Amino acid sequence: MYPNRWWFWASALILAWLLAGSAVAQTVVSRLNLVSGPERTRITLDLSQKVEPHTFLLADPYRAVVDLPQVAFRWAEALPTPAGGPVAGFRHGQFKPGTSRLVVDLRQPMQIVQAQVLPPGSGQSWRMVLDLAPITRDAFLAAIGTSSATAAVPPKPPQPTQDGQMPRRSDGRRTVILDPGHGGIDPGATGVGGIREKALTLEIAQDLKRVLEASGRYHVVLTRTDDSFIRLRERIQIARQAQGEIFLSLHADALADTNFRGMTIYTLSDKASDAEAEALAQRENKAELIAGVDLTDESPEVASILIDLAQRETMNLSARLAGHLVQELSKEAQLLRNGHRFAGFAVLKAPDIPSALVELGYLSNRQDSQQLVQPAYRRRLGQAILRSLDQFFKSRPGGRAG
Ligand SMILES: [Zn+2]
């Protein structure tokens, strides 16, 4: 009666088998062990299944990097915090989709003697063994000279129209880029109660996107939408590819002085407004170092923070944007006495997009960190930023806000 019935069940079985196969359990990394001797340092990782590690070295500061296919770091016990010896510490997290990374900070040049994954012994898990041995700086530099990372070619920026305005979207909305600071292997600051900058900035960016888009006047693109590491230059590339007309980077710093609180708006400058702004920019620019990115092959223009002529006009617009932000945000939040400051932030270096970095508050301060997780406070911040953007576009010659 139904000659195709057999085929139906056969296909269903094959489909079920394929679905089961695609849901392969993620590898769990559960333990990190460190043994340091004068001649050899051994780091072991316990793994729930076999993975293929990729290891390499980076200089200044000295680091050994282990890349794994995406794994879950679920430590059964706290990571070692070595007070002496060649290993200074460990960082780990997602480096990019599909890749997890462990960065081993070294106090001296070391070479990788072996990196292999051993099958489980009796009652044990798979184990990755990384052996390091001291070498001279010259030998270290010669060893990393063999690495070949190719620098990405920056995409062509959108061309301004005749009246100097960036091309508008066909639906008339302005494109705003929100850049949640940090992510993945780079956690940013940690504050009161263990609150993490990378998680907070992502949540606030998502809230802010909803507020801005609800106005009908803005199209919002986030530089990251999950807990992944994005390089500073990639954030700028995302903004330019999306034809962003405004770039807002969101951060929340932490300081040793827990009494310090308040919001600050930063724009790019090759001369910092004050020593604190300078130190902050240095901390925020460290993302690449934290994540173990190889910068040796990058062109000096990209690596340098010097500002070229093309950026001058954008810098004036950025300063105006900051002025509007300070004016509106000061109605809702406590701003530092000097609400608008400037320094050499690498992430603000898009030559053609007015950019500002908002330090939302200090996670080291109890009031600031409590406030930043309150939905009502976030809504007020969102409304204030919406008003500042409206004013910015109204005040731009030839520009209209919605
Ligand atoms: Zn930050």
**Residue 155 is inside which H or E element, if any?**
none
Radius of gyration of the chain (CA): 24
Using the mean position of ligand 1's atoms as its centre, give its distance from the Cα of residue 181 in Å: 5
Tokens of 79: 């990571």
Rounded distance from Cα 280 to ligand 1 centre (Å): 8
Nearest-angstrom CA–CA distance, 14 and 281: 55
DSSP-assigned beta bridge partners for residue 57: 64
Distance CA 38, CA 120 (A): 28
Distance 200 CA to ligand 1 centre (A): 10
Kindly state the DSSP code that residue 183 receives in the 8-state scheme: B
Give the DSSP H or E segment for 211. Answer: helix 197-214
CA 369 / ligand 1 centre spacing (Å) = 14
Among 139, 144, 142, 62, which Cα is nearest to 106's? Answer: 62
Torsion sign (Cα): 247, 248, 251, 257: positive
Encoding tokens for residue 211? 């507020």
CA neighbor of 360 nearest in space, from 212, 210, 200: 200
Non-local (6+) Cβ contacts of 38 within 8 A are: none
The DSSP bridge pattern shows strands 174-180 and 246-253 to be parallel
Length, in residues, of the chain: 402
| Phi (first) and psi of residue 387, to 5 degrees | -60, -40
CB proximity list for 42: less than 8 A, separation 6 or greater: 33, 34, 35, 129, 130, 131, 132
What are the pLDDT digits (tens) for 219-257?
999 999 999 999 888 899 899 889 999 999 999 999 989
pLDDT of residue 320: 94
| C-alpha of residue 164 to centroid of ligand 1, in Å | 32
**Contact present, 228 and 94 (Cβ < 8 Å):** yes
- Domains recognised in the chain with CATH numbers: 27-144 (2.60.40.3500), 174-395 (3.40.630.40)
Which positions ≥6 away from 351 have C-beta within 8 Å? 157, 308, 310, 311, 314
Q: Please write the tens of the pLDDT for every residue from 290-320.
A: 777 766 555 544 444 455 666 777 888 999 9
Q: Which residues of the chain have pLDDT under 50?
A: 21, 146-158, 162-164, 300-305, 398-402
**Quick one: tokens of 263?**
């919001």
Beta bridge partners of 190: 196
Rounded to an integer, what distance in angstroms lies between the CA atom of residue 325 and that of residue 265? Answer: 7
The CA 124 to ligand 1 mean position distance, Å, reads: 40
| CA nearest to 45, candidates 21, 58, 27 | 27
- Ligand 1 centre distance from Cα of residue 360 (Å): 10
**How far apart are the CA of 289 and the centre of ligand 1, in A?**
14
C-alpha 117 – ligand 1 centre gap (Å)? 35
Locate tokens 């960016």: which residue? 205
Q: How many Å separate Cα 246 from the centre of its chain?
A: 19
SS3 category, 190: strand
Q: How far is the CA of 259 from the centre of ligand 1 (A)?
A: 19
| Helices vs. strands in the chain: H and E counts, helices first | 10, 15
* 73 CA from centroid of ligand 1 (Å): 23
Tokens of 221: 């693109």
